[in-house]
Amino acid sequence: MKIIKTLSICALSASVMFASSSLLTKAKESGFKAIPTNNAELLKLIDDKENPLTAEKIELGKKLYFDPRVSKSGIISCNTCHNLGLGGVDGVPAAVGHKWTANPHHLNSPTVYNSVFFKSQFWDGRSPHLADQAKGPIEAGPEMAAPASLVEKRITSIPEYVKEFNVAYGKDAKIDFDLISSTISLFEKTLVTPAPFDDYLHGNENALNDAQKKGLNTFIDKGCASCHNGIAIGGTMQPFELAAKYKFASVGDFAGNEQGMVKTPTLRNITETAPYYHNGQIWSLNEAIKEMGSVQLGITITDQEADEIKDFLASLKGKKPVITYPQLPESTLDTPKPDFN
């Protein structure tokens, strides 16, 4: 009798282990990729030989990221809309910029965390990489509204910034708008947040609890992984409203790029980045999941299934890099004054 009982327990344990291993295989076959644990492997993904990451460049980029003087008014920084203490977003439906102007297309600010892994930047995918993306909000009228020439004058009028650029790039470096914006992007490249799901993909099957594993299986079976995959679990251009009309489509005039494609938002840290969708109209993650099922997959996701998927999404909340707010260098009498017009 004891032998039969022991064999039954062993068989049950083997069955559970097999099921767990099968789910891990299923996840990898669905296109999920983990953030590397090895720093050298991570650098292969995020570094650029043309402008390699260094401690000096990253620290300078961080200062510029937090410096409101990069904006015309002198009160808006990159961190205003991509707040690193709020999941890399601003927590409002539409980004608010210069002269308290809401985004004219009613577009929501995407998270900056893990943006280095996105194949496309902006909701319409018009920028291929972070260095190019960083220019847009600075110059855009409804955002930071600062012409390139003004940004250059502000930064080069501050001796400490000039010194830091010389240290980071050499004394012959031309401190122009391209270099300033690309330096910001180098800091942004470091905003990577490895999560329990990455540990799971690396083979630690205890990194997810049973509810999260069940949610992962539901996520895959429902077809969510067809768009939300890769290392970013999003970040690629995909057709929108494939199966039905998005119920808040009338809010704002955004319709994607010329082909009607929209950048798939990353699901990393998704529990922190409400409101959801390009126009920020849904605050409940469960509601966002169910709406996506209808709009993109043409299916009904039940309340229970939405809860299961939400459990899995919680495993994508990653460990944030420790960011110390920088002390910014002093302006001079030559530094162009704030302009509120």
For 177, what's the count of Cα atoms within 13 Å in the CB-facing half-sphere? 17
Asked if 61 and 186 touch (Cβ cutoff 8 Å), the reply is yes
* 3-state SS assignment for residue 1: coil
Separation CA 216–CA 197 (nearest Å): 10
Asked if 165 and 186 touch (Cβ cutoff 8 Å), the reply is no
Going by C-alpha positions, the residue among 226, 213, 227 that lies closest to residue 266 is 227
Please report, as a single letter, which amino acid is at residue 150.
L
Binding site membership: which residues? 78, 81-82, 98, 224, 227-228, 292
Separation CA 291–CA 298 (nearest Å): 10
Please report, as a single letter, which amino acid is at residue 271.
T
* C-alpha 37 chain-centroid distance: 19
- In angstroms and rounded to an integer, the radius of gyration of the C-alpha atoms of the chain is 23
Q: Which of 41, 56, 59, 143 is an active site residue?
A: 143
Phi then psi for residue 263, to 5 deg, are -70, 130
Tokens of 56: 């000096």
* C-alpha 282 chain-centroid distance: 18
Known catalytic residue at 143: yes
Going by C-alpha positions, the residue among 131, 119, 140 that lies closest to residue 48 is 131
Q: Does the bond joining 36 to the residue before it have cis omega, within 30 degrees of 0?
A: no
Positions marked catalytic: 143
